[in-house]
Chains A and B, each alone.
Chain A
Amino acid sequence: MSLIQNLVPASAQAPARCDCDSDPNSEPTVRPLHEFSETDEAWGLQVYLPGVAKEGLEFTAEEGQIAIRGRRAWKSPADWTALYRESTDAPYELVLRHDKSIDVEKIHAELKDGVLRVSLPKAEAVKPRKIAVN
Chain B
Amino acid sequence: MRSLIHYTNLGSRLLPSFGFADRSPTVCFEGDFGRWFETALAGLAAPVCDNHFPVDVYEDKDNTYVRAELPGVNRDDIKVEMVEGFLTINASRKSLAADGKGEEPFSFSRSVSVPENVAADKVGAAYENGVLTITLPKQEETKPRKITVAVK
Question: Which bracket fits the contact residues of B?
Answer: 35 or more
Most buried by B among A48, A85, A86: A86
With A30-B46, A99-B25 known, 6 other A-B pairs at CB within 8 A are: A50-B131, A52-B130, A87-B55, A97-B29, A102-B25, A126-B4
CB–CB A36/B61 < 8 A: no
CB–CB A51/B29 < 8 A: no
B56 at the interface (CB under 8 A from A): yes
Residues of chain B from 1 to 44 with CB closer than 8 A to chain A in the complex: 1, 4-8, 20, 23-31, 38, 42
B116 at the interface (CB under 8 A from A): no
- B56 contact set on A, CB distance < 8 A: 82, 84-87
CB–CB B130/A79 < 8 A: no
Distance in angstroms from B75 CB to nearest chain A CB is 9
A residues contacting the other copy or chain, number (CB 8 A): 51
A10 at the interface (CB under 8 A from B): no
B82 at the interface (CB under 8 A from A): no
CB–CB A51/B131 < 8 A: yes
CB–CB B38/A31 < 8 A: yes
